[in-house]
Structure 1
Amino acid sequence: MSDLTPIPVVAGFHPDPSVCRAGDDYYLVCSSFEYFPGVPVFHSRDLVHWTQIGNALERPSQLRLSADTPSSAGVYAPTLRHHDGRFWLIVTVVADGGGNMLFTATDPAGPWSDPIRLPGVSGIDPDLAWDDDGTCWCTVAGVGQVRIDPRTGETFGEPHELWSGTPGAAAPEAPHLYRIGEYWYLLIAEGGTERGHGVSIARGPAPDGPFEPCPGNPILTHRSTTHPVQNTGHADLVQAADGSWWMVLLGVRPGGGTPGWHVLGRETFLAPVTWVDGWPVVGELVSGVPNGSNRDDFDLAELQACWISLRSRPADLCTTKERAGWLTLRARGASLDEPDVTFLGRRPQHLRWRARTMIDPAQGRGGLAVRLDEGHHYEIEAGDGQVQVVARVGSVRTVVAEHPAPAGPLVLAVQTDEPLPPHGPRAAPDALSFGVETEAGALTVLASLDGRYLSTEVAGGFTGRVVGMYAATGAVHFDWFDYEARP
């Protein structure tokens, strides 16, 4: 990976960004798929430095994902807008009869309303735009459109098709509609969310068209280039208070040999936009500022906003209130192979990082895991006087290493390292090393595993790695969790 690789402004598994401005403040949301709480919400004053201020869907009344919700299903492609003094969030929930839903808030940090369901809006990737007379237009992937009442969810008239991108290009999706100057602009992603991804745009005299495509489409793509950021697409535009224009978009940072593996998921990048002859011209990606360490001593009654669980988070299975200063996880599913395992994780945000936790497994078994989905995860597990490293790749589950566990609480660790051999065209993006920390703070590595098997190119799907703690049997207690970037 080149030292010149642009750094995401919101790094790690934060795909499908949507952004809006309210005064001097910017707010951004991303897809969350099978994780709960859903839709992380970020705040910035400059579009470069972002801080997570909450999660929009944090109550079961807002989001119910069952154990039958597949990985990479769940919450797709939110659009966030500020209109008429309120914030409006529209998403698609793919699973459990969800469909398209709309939420509102006066403060983007929350609380957000319970869902307004949109049974008359079909498709995914919904967008909201208002015209001068207050009519609200909902546009979805495909690209189709229907008028709605955003306060009730009622639709008006029949859905109609709009401009659907470049002829022959796959998957016209992620539409966003804007009134800019004398035109209405329709921004879409096309080409699929893999290496062929790109952004195209059209304009017309009214929100329902007719639309003429930009002669320079795609206005952004890194397909068939050696750019270190690939899969660029699913963009949204925002105008700054000074009149300048900017685009947020998703991209990936593949590493290793051929075909290149991205392991952090799709991340949020930023680019400047200028206007030439009434069309947007996208500049080079702007580097964000990498986040540093993050430690949680579990001293607070409520968990930090960065923590996510699988599909739900019952309070009786995940709490900091049972044992003061400790996180307690109670087992439900028996391992990371199970969709309902009790798991609490966070998104890694660096290509090289280390995570550590102090675990007390006296009342059960549990550990520290790096997860992509039920069929692709590595973990180090403690209990019954033993520590073991487990690898699950596809249909194969293997105990890679075993080691006697010291009495009492112990520190488990995982870190990303340089890839294992072979190198060259077949090189992996990284290795994941699992071990136990000694009282002196040294790491005894029990196993180093090939990182390519925890990548989207191997596992498929739309998510990225998540690192965190889990319980396999009984009750497991964690005194602290520490995440830090490595050089």
Structure 2
Amino acid sequence: MALFDNPVIPGFSPDPTICRVGDDYYVATSSFEYVPGVPLWHSRDLVHWRLIGHALDRPSQLALTDEVPSSCGVYAPTLRFHDGRFWMITTVVAGAGTVMVTAKDPVGPWSEPVPVGIPGIDPDLAWDDEGHCWCVFSHDGMIRGVRIEPETGELLGEPVPMWSGSGLQYPEGPHLYRIGDWWYLLLSEGGTERGHAMSVARARTLPGPFEPHPDNPVLSHRSTGHPVQNTGHGDLVQAQDGTWWMVLLGTRPLGDTPKFHGMGRETFLVPVRWEDEWPLPGPLELRAPAPALPPHPWPAEPVRDDFDSPALAPCWMSLRRHDPSAVGLDTRPGHVVLHARTDGLETPGAVFLGRRQRDPDCSARTRVDAGGGDRGGIAVRLDEAHHYQVEIGEGTVRVVARIGPLRQTVAERAVPPGPLTLRVDITTTGVLPPTVTARPTEPGAALPAGLRVGGPDTLRLGYETEGGTFEILAELDGRYLTTEVAGGFTGRVLGMYATRGAPAFDWFELRPAAGPKR
């Protein structure tokens, strides 16, 4: 029996929504303060996924100001295919509100957004047998629904309550389906932390009344020792062979209690069985039987970008806006040149270009030329108040840690003039004890006796000599770059930044560490 590895979309890829068109599957996920907005993933076997673009990929569709807080911006989307078109609806929190776009091809172009005047978050779309379009959403502790005119976004009535879940907090992420003789309403509840859960109800007609499954929640890993936690926000799909599946989010926390996850909420795949006309998802396994579909792996995503193309690859993300005047691919051939707008990553308007951390153990490297008064480097970012940096400027390479209100230069060293290769390694083995925030590196040095290993991973920051030796300037505890410490809804993003002048980056590499996948 063929097996597959969960998560199927690793790294910061929360709130997955899925639709099938023939033999092709498409998933959209949340993007929050990063642009382009709403990543779109493509698969032909539900296991192998490739990033093909974004639904909100230009300023006219998504305009986030520098004041939009981290973990605001683009919340949970819904992706559907109806009447020959793809439809994507989402809520831009602290922005435009709920908007909808359409496309003939998910690669794009996608239309200009149509506003939909509903309150709340997590909108969903469903069409009934008469062709009427229903929008259901979460608002004020209740899942509500209303018919809309999809071409204009006009509400065709007042939203009505449908279901409030099984009694857990935050009923959200609703998806409405017509399957057989029933309407099914799938939702998440319990909060997107360890109590996250999936529940389901059904009704013969819309807008209800909906009867809940007697054993709700139908999927949750709360209060268990399962290696995947925070399970919820799922969406159903029927494969071409008639089997049913669900994509959902989860996390892989590591370390000492309460355990920590830095990669964010990831996309997992579980089978769905039907009992007494109820869809029951699970079990969720890290190594699981694969769907009985022809395997269709894609070419591996390149680990290195030499910036030789006229446009950035889809994997690259910027903070709140992509500014061509700040991110230049034609200023210096074979380089990306970042033009600083602020003097720190904690300042609104910071210039940062990054990629999701997709492997628990990985290495990020870049070759940067920071001449004159330039300053820039690599950052591992969770939000404005939680990031680690290794940077070069004015002949000095330094490691800087920002943890909440504290910002500290952890280590620094003078280096010869000229381009320098900066490096960050992330490892889940040999992590620092909980009382140690940073330490100078001594090869073979043991941890202090009597201390428990606490964090999920350790980040080693430094630079490479011309001979290729990794000069580690500092080791930092990874727990401070997790949502259990920082809060919020995102995961780590590793990338390049500029905080003075216009440093030029020759290449950037994000490579999984050798060894078994975790």
Normalised-by-shorter TM-score class: over 0.9
Counterpart of 2:192 in structure 1 is: 193
Deviation for aligned residue 1:425: 5.6
Counterpart of 1:465 in structure 2 is: 492
Measured on the aligned residues, the alpha-carbon RMSD in Å equals 1.6
Counterparts of 1:75-90 in structure 2, within 5 Å, are: 75-90=74-89
Task: Identify unmatched segments of 5+ residues in structure 2.
Answer: 288-296, 435-449
Instruction: Kindly indicate whether residue 296 of structure 2 is the aligned counterpart of residue 314 of structure 1.
Output: no
Counterpart of 1:39 in structure 2 is: 38
Deviation for aligned residue 1:356: 0.2
Deviation for aligned residue 1:209: 1.2
SS in 2 for 1:339: coil
Structure 1: distance between partners of 2:10 and 2:125: 26
Q: Percent same amino acid among aligned pairs?
A: 58
Structure 2: distance between partners of 1:68 and 1:391: 22
Instruction: Kindly indicate whether residue 107 of structure 2 is the aligned counterpart of residue 109 of structure 1.
Output: yes
**Structure-2 change in CA distance of 1:292 and 1:52 (3 Å):** closer
**Structure-2 change in CA distance of 1:5 and 1:440 (3 Å):** farther
**Structure-2 change in CA distance of 1:287 and 1:207 (3 Å):** farther
SS in 1 for 2:88: strand
- Cα deviation, 1:289-319, whole Å, max 9, x if unaligned, reads 9967611000001000010000001101002
Counterpart of 2:437 in structure 1 is: none
Counterpart of 2:49 in structure 1 is: 50
Counterpart of 2:65 in structure 1 is: 66
**Does the 8 Å CA contact 1:420/1:428 hold for their aligned counterparts?**
yes
Structure 1: distance between partners of 2:5 and 2:230: 14
Counterpart of 1:123 in structure 2 is: 120
**Does the 8 Å CA contact 1:345/1:467 hold for their aligned counterparts?**
yes
Deviation for aligned residue 1:284: 2.2
Structure 2: distance between partners of 1:172 and 1:219: 14
AA aligned opposite 2:407: R
AA aligned opposite 1:480: W
Counterpart of 2:28 in structure 1 is: 29
SS in 1 for 2:230: strand
- Cα deviation, 1:201-243, whole Å, max 9, x if unaligned, reads 0000013111100112111100010000000000000001111
Instruction: Kindly indicate whether residue 386 of structure 2 is the aligned counterpart of residue 359 of structure 1.
Output: no
Structure 1: distance between partners of 2:54 and 2:465: 36
Aligned residues: 481
Counterparts of 1:259-278 in structure 2, within 5 Å, are: 259-278=258-277
- Cα deviation, 1:156-212, whole Å, max 9, x if unaligned, reads 111100111012x10000000001111000000000000000000000001311110
Counterparts of 1:380-391 in structure 2, within 5 Å, are: 380-391=390-401
**Does the 8 Å CA contact 2:77/2:90 hold for their aligned counterparts?**
yes
Deviation for aligned residue 1:283: 2.4
SS in 1 for 2:249: strand
**Does the 8 Å CA contact 2:41/2:52 hold for their aligned counterparts?**
yes
From 394, 412, 419, give the equivalent of 1:409: 419
AA aligned opposite 1:231: N
Structure 1: distance between partners of 2:108 and 2:348: 28
**Structure-2 change in CA distance of 1:147 and 1:292 (3 Å):** closer
Counterpart of 1:347 in structure 2 is: 356
**Structure-2 change in CA distance of 1:14 and 1:116 (3 Å):** same
- TM-score normalised by L of structure 1: 0.96
Counterparts of 1:138-149 in structure 2, within 5 Å, are: 138-141=135-138, 142-149=142-149
Counterparts of 1:279-290 in structure 2, within 5 Å, are: 279-285=278-284, 287=286
Structure 2: distance between partners of 1:102 and 1:404: 52
Deviation for aligned residue 1:421: 2.1
